[in-house]
Amino acid sequence: METSILNAAQINKKITRIAYEIYEENASEKEVVLAGTVSGGYELAQKLETVLKKISPLKTTMMKVTVDRNKLTGEGAIKLDSNVNLAGKTVILVDDVLNTGQMLSYCMKTILQFPVRRLRIAVLVDRNHTLFPIKSDYTGLSIATTLQEHIQVNLKTKGKESVILKD
């Protein structure tokens, strides 16, 4: 069974609100790096960047975070864009859904190998089932789900964006 949680208009409102929160907290920064996970966070990071450019003078840099889920705990499971210099910068790690927090914790570990100024997490949906000590700093929607339910996010199809809860 599928239940629609957010439609395109609601998603855009959530993204706009997150962008304003990012700007408010980082207005004094010279640059913010939006590090989006390739599993869904990169599309969200792109949408956040678009809104941030409309509402603020904040300079943003996009960075892809590639995750090999098959060897998540092994060497080389997390790869960052090598062209982006993270030293002294605020990095916002972006993912579409916060489930257990495992993937984001490994992404954070990789990012923290660099001397970043600050590291924050932005997610569109927080399922409240973290097994790792991960908390989102910017959250679009916090929803209680069962462990058997699955959240499916579609941000790729313009005008047809959706968040669906599946049993």
| Model pTM score | 0.92
Q: What is the pLDDT of residue 37?
A: 92
- Asked whether the predicted pLDDT for residue 82 surpasses 80, the reply is no
Element at 69 (helix H, strand E)? none
- Asked whether the predicted pLDDT for residue 56 surpasses 80, the reply is yes
Print burial letters for 4-24: b (CB count within 10 Å at least 16), e (below 16).
ebbebebbeebbbebbeebbe
Q: What is the pLDDT of residue 149?
A: 83
Q: Domains, the chain, ranges and CATH? A: 9-145 (3.40.50.2020)
Q: Which two tokens stand for residue 112?
A: 């923290």
Task: Say if residues 1 and 121 touch (Cβ distance below 8 Å).
Answer: no
The CA R_g of the chain, rounded to the nearest whole Å, is 15
Task: Say if residues 33 and 63 touch (Cβ distance below 8 Å).
Answer: yes
pLDDT digits (tens, 9 = 90+) for 118-137: 999 999 999 887 778 899 99
Print burial letters for 128-148: b (CB count within 10 Å at least 16), e (below 16).
eebeeebebbbbbbebebeee
